[in-house]
Amino acid sequence: MASGETNVRSKKIMKREKINLTVNGHAYELDVGRRAHEVDPAHTLAKTLRETLGLTGTKIGCDHGSCGSCTVLMDGKAILSCMTLTVECDGKSITTIEGLGDPKTGILDPLQQAFIDHTAFQCGFCTPGMLMGAKALLGQNRSPDEGQVKEALSGHYCRCISHYHVLRAVLEAAKRAR
């Protein structure tokens, strides 16, 4: 069973005591352990990003994989960082909201600009996850139709109901990027 495999893998990782991951282009070597600065094997990627690396742009809404607010990219694919253990991310490349666009020049990703132009948020708490979900979609499909955007974002909870603005923004960003 899978759990057996996981146990073997966790043990290996515990032995290795270090994991390497790339976040927004920066390479990190993190110590695995139970001390304050270390990555506990029980830590989720969301927790590591926010608390160990200080990248608080990634939000935790439910911490149970059902609201989408913690969405980040792992090797270009959207994942729920609250449902991913950091020790499982060895060798992976992660992109968070802080890595969207060009943080050096301050040039925004077309999605970010479109979200600004359409005020595609109200409270803004779901926005980082929503943007990363949309980014993953546009990485796979440069010209999504409205139905495909809805499907891709259907796991993202927005209680303010900015969905209609978000749809306009994502479709507009896709158009601009083409």
**Residues near another protein, by CB under 8 A:** 36, 40, 42, 50, 55-64, 66-67, 69, 96-98, 100-101, 108, 112, 115-119, 121-128, 131, 149-151, 153-167
CA–CA distance, 7 with 85 (Å, rounded to integer) = 13
Pick between residue 8 and residue 62 the one whose CB is nearest to another protein.
62
Q: In the complex, what is the shortest distance from the CB of residue 91 to another protein, in angstroms, rounded to a whole number?
A: 24
Return the SS3 of 84.
coil
Q: In the complex, what is the shortest distance from the CB of residue 48 to another protein, in angstroms, rounded to a whole number?
A: 14
Which residue do the tokens 């990248």 mark?
A: 55
Q: In the complex, what is the shortest distance from the CB of residue 5 to another protein, in angstroms, rounded to a whole number?
A: 26
CA–CA distance, 174 with 169 (Å, rounded to integer) = 9
CA–CA distance, 171 with 149 (Å, rounded to integer) = 8
Q: In the complex, what is the shortest distance from the CB of residue 4 to another protein, in angstroms, rounded to a whole number?
A: 26
Q: How many CB atoms sit inside 10 A of residue 56's CB? A: 14
Pick between residue 38 and residue 90 the one whose CB is nearest to another protein.
38
Alpha helices, H only, 26-123: 45-47, 110-117
Q: How many CB atoms sit inside 10 A of residue 96's CB? A: 24
Q: In the complex, what is the shortest distance from the CB of residue 127 to another protein, in angstroms, rounded to a whole number?
A: 5
Pick between residue 8 and residue 107 the one whose CB is nearest to another protein.
107
> At how many degrees (to 10) do helices 163-177 and 110-117 cross?
140
Pick between residue 74 and residue 126 the one whose CB is nearest to another protein.
126
Pick between residue 21 and residue 49 the one whose CB is nearest to another protein.
49
